[in-house]
């Protein structure tokens, strides 16, 4: 009986330490057109006491160019935060050290919520993952300075040439037909004017 109780305690302890919150790039998968600018959210889920965070991102610079990093509502709505967007390097395909912290002796915020928003432009056709990289730059801490265990989830972006919508194709066909009809009708008048 005693050994069964000990085993239960060990299993419960193991389960507790295995649990972690998630930090994810949303949407996790997206298809965009070359030339299109779009925004990805950096989200956390059930974090109960988040005081500060830091992360770095990597992407394929042949496919995407990062435009900006802005603070998300989870910290911005407190009115007591200090945000550093990191420095975009579109040559290397990195955004190192985006960070945010609450100021003063205040409790941490609770998730789910958005930590930051990253704007990209697709510059060429191709695919790229957007990753939390390097992994050791991903740090989330609670209001007591404890590092929080999180599981990071990357995103996959596919950039392709733009395909016109059916309505656009219909209008284009109509315009071509109209132009053809106008040209065809004007020819007999031009012929008469020459005589």
What CATH number is given to the structural domain containing 145? Answer: 2.60.40.680
What is the average per-residue pLDDT within 114-129? 98
* Domain presence at residue 8: no
Residue 130 domain boundaries: 21-183
In a domain, 15, yes or no: no
Q: Is residue 14 part of a domain?
A: no
Task: Answer whether residue 144 shows pLDDT above 70.
Answer: yes
CA distance 22 to 19: 10
Local confidence band at 184 (pLDDT 50, 70, 90 cut-offs): low
Residue 180 has pLDDT above 70, yes or no: no
10 domain-assigned: no
Query: Does residue 104 belong to any structural domain of this protein?
Result: yes
- 3 within a domain of the structure (yes/no): no
Q: DSSP letters of 70-130?
A: EE-HHHHTTS-EEEE----BTTTTEEEEEEEEE-SS-PPB-SSEEEEEEEEEE-SSEEEEE
| 18 vs 151, higher pLDDT | 151
Residue 124 burial (CB count, 10 A): 13
Say if residue 44's pLDDT is above 90.
yes
What pLDDT shows up at residue 72? 98
Reply yes or no on whether the pLDDT at 102 is more than 60.
Answer: yes
In our burial notation (b when 16+ CB lie closer than 10 A, e otherwise), range 61-87 reads: bebbbbeebebbebbbeeeebebebbe
**On the CB side of 17, how many CA atoms lie within 13 Å of its CA?**
5
DSSP state of 136: G
Cα dihedral angle (97, 101, 107, 109), rounded to 10 degrees?
-60
Q: d(Cα 52, Cα 139) in Å, to the nearest integer?
A: 8
Residue 161 confidence class, pLDDT cut points 50, 70, 90:
confident
Q: How confident is the model at residue 6 (pLDDT cuts 50, 70, 90)?
A: very low
**Per-residue pLDDT at 173 exceeds 70:** no
Report the C-alpha gap between 178 and 56 in whole angstroms: 54
Please count the structural domains in the chain. Answer: 1
Q: Is the pLDDT of residue 8 over 60?
A: no
Q: What pTM does this model have?
A: 0.74
Task: Give the span between the Cα atoms of 184 and 145, in whole angstroms.
Answer: 79
The answer as to whether 188 is a domain residue is: no
Domain contains 12: no
């Amino acid at each position: 009986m005693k050994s069964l109780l000990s085993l239960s305690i060990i299993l419960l302890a193991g389960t507790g330490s295995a649990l972690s919150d998630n930090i994810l790039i949303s949407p996790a998968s997206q298809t965009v057109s070359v030339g299109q600018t779009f925004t990805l959210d950096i989200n956390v889920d059930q974090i109960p006491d988040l005081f500060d965070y830091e992360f770095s991102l990597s992407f394929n610079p042949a496919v995407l160019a990062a435009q900006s990093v802005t603070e998300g509502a989870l910290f911005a709505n407190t009115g007591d935060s200090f945000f550093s967007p990191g420095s975009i390097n579109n040559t290397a395909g990195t955004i190192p050290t985006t960070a945010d912290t609450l100021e003063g002796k205040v409790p941490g915020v609770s998730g789910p919520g958005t930590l930051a928003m990253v704007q990209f432009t697709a510059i060429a056709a191709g695919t790229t993952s957007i990753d939390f990289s390097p992994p050791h730059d991903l740090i989330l801490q609670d209001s007591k300075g404890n590092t929080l265990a999180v599981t990071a989830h990357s995103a996959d972006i596919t950039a392709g040439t733009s395909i016109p919508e059916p309505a656009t194709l219909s209008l284009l066909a109509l315009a071509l037909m109209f132009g053809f009809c106008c040209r065809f009708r004007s020819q007999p008048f031009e012929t008469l004017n020459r005589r």
